[in-house]
Amino acid sequence: MQPIKAVYPDGQAREIASPEEALAIFRHSTSHLMAAAVQDLFPGTRLGIGPATEDGFYYDFQTESPFHQEDLEKIEARMSELVRQDLEIQPFLWEKQAAIDYFRGKGEHLKVELIEERAGDTLSCYRLGEMVDFCRGPHMARTGLLADFKLLSNAASYWKGDEKREPLQRIYGTGFFSREDLQGYLHKLEEARKRDHRKLGKDLQLFHIFEMAGPGFVYWLPKGTTLRYELESFTRQEHLRRGYQFVTIPHLARNTLFKTSGHYSFFRENMYVLDIEEEEYVIKPMNCPGHILIYKTGLHSYRDLPIRYAEFGTVYRYEKSGTLHGMLRVRGFTQDDAHIFCTPDQVYSEVLGVIDFAEFILKTFGFEDYKIELSVWDPAHPENYAGTAENWQSAEDALRRALDEKGLRYARKEGEAAFYGPKIDMKLIDAIGREWQATTIQFDFNLPERFDVTYIGPDSAKHRVIMIHRALFGSIERFTGVLLEHFAGALPVWLSPVQVVLIPISERHHEYARQVQGRLTSAGLRVQMDDRNEKMGYKIREAQMQKVPFMLVVGDKEASGGLVSVRNRFQGDEGQCSVEDFLLRLQQLVATRAVQP
């Protein structure tokens, strides 16, 4: 892409060399284009904010009634008219009070609030046609440069994300510098829609979220629980092989536990609390304080370390209802949580071991591509962080050395670490190129200090333990949602809740089908028989819709010869084979955790 020019508040056009920055300016300008179209079509609509986002843009509007799909079509058409008119997007500077008087006169009280909060003595605005917007810019110079856009959806929102403030209507859109890029993105969106885990979860009878029980809480149905069991069973065995010890902690604790950890002060608005016998208790929002209590039940020598505690620990955090999204954003979720207590000399090998473990897990599930970020502190502002400069440098060196040892590329994010320690984030890339947060490896210099977590060193003195948080899936719920979308519901055989459906051609073949079912089930496979009085084609299509890996059709020939006719959900009819040969094949697929047959 050739460098573009953007117009700044001072009226000067400057070249933008960064493709990412240029696209963000393009999209932000398109949000202004949309706002102008909305005010043209719906007089009296008040403006909120309209930023660019990672995938496009949105604008918040205060309006008498919600927008509908036909409204979005009208807005898009009006935007195209404004593009054809090739209007100038004009910047100008304004005295603060003059701007306040102008927007107040227009009834734009949200803009007045923003100006009062954010503007200095002078501020920048941009004019597009009849619309004037308070904005820092920069913008594209003319509407004729904004041809390739698409409005995608609308949703309810609140001013500043506060449910107690004004209700708004948010319109989402996207835009690109070329029609080809736009069409490619829209194709990706359509593919994502087909893979939506919420629809797949319902169609495949895996999970449900009940309005009666409240939003953000996942109920695992029998098939979904089978899938979850396989995930947990697999990772549990791998944890034990790697020297982890499993622990279990309660779901409730006195608030004093989380006051000591600091979470009560910094995280209170996201906690669920209740009173028991005139004491305040907290439904745990994280597992780490409980694991620390278990560590502190005994006195530990350096010879005992490292100690690795693991738990499939369910936690509860308040999320605003508007942010909830199927299994991907919930209020109750189960982390594959672990905390490593070690000495400074053990840090590097422990981090290396976690990275090895994470790579093994991700590749087992078919994720060969992932991005890695190393978040570190800002050494210019040590006052913003817990722990000493020596702690931070040592931890960063261990994380960096481990990544280098593995030959993994990573982006260093200076100043983006949490106040309590540096971390590694591994973001997997799914089948259609989307990134998902997966593994986190997080140092913590805060909790060992707050809880006085120590070990006895070779000098017989107490030393502060090094604590590492880590989660490989992140959460069982979120990882399951990602798996469903990655595989479009067609899970690998070893994870499929139903691995085989037996389809007898007629009633006289039921007995043989039951014999085959018994043989496969006794070998540990998950098998169902469809003996309904329906046509065989209907049964096959339904099994196909349920994403069952294999369908075994049995009739006279199969019954007389100890055979099955095999249908693969991807390749269709594979022909006949013996029951034993089919069994061996499936056992091999399960044992090797093959991604696809």
Residues with a catalytic annotation lie at 288, 317, 335, 337, 339, 423, 469
DSSP secondary structure of 430-453 = -TTS-EEEEEEEEEESSHHHHTT-
Q: How far apart are the first and last CA of the chain?
A: 42
Element (H, E) at 288: helix 288-295
> What value does the CA radius of gyration of the chain take, rounded to a whole number of Å?
29
Q: Where are the beta strands (DSSP E) in 22-115?
A: 46-47, 57-62, 89-95
Taking the C-alpha atoms of residue 374 and residue 391, their distance in angstroms, rounded to an integer, is 16
527-529/272-276 β-pairing: unpaired
Pull the structure tokens for residue 547.
């994403």
SS3 576: strand
Q: Are 157 and 322 in contact (CB under 8 A)?
A: yes
Pull the structure tokens for residue 584.
């061996």
Taking the C-alpha atoms of residue 569 and residue 567, their distance in angstroms, rounded to an integer, is 6
| Residues 367, 192, 157: CA angle, nearest 5 degrees | 115
Those residues whose C-beta lies under 8 Å from the C-beta of residue 233, and which sit 6 or more positions away, are: none
> Can you give the length of the chain in residues?
597
Please report how the helices 347-364 and 222-241 are oriented relative to each other, as an axis angle in degrees rounded to 10.
140
DSSP secondary structure of 343-384 = -GGGHHHHHHHHHHHHHHHHHHTT---EEEEEEE--TT-GGG
Taking the C-alpha atoms of residue 50 and residue 56, their distance in angstroms, rounded to an integer, is 11
Give me the torsion for CA of 436, 437, 439, 442, rounded to 10°. 170
Residue bearing tokens 């959806």? 153
Taking the C-alpha atoms of residue 286 and residue 475, their distance in angstroms, rounded to an integer, is 12
Cα 105 to Cα 32, 69, 111, 126, 462: the distances in Å are 20, 31, 11, 17, 68
- Please state the φ and ψ torsions of residue 138, each to the nearest 5 degrees: -80, 175
500-504/550-554 β-pairing: parallel
Side chain identity, residue 568: N
| Residues 176, 178, 180: CA angle, nearest 5 degrees | 105
Taking the C-alpha atoms of residue 325 and residue 19, their distance in angstroms, rounded to an integer, is 30
Pull the structure tokens for residue 239.
């944890």
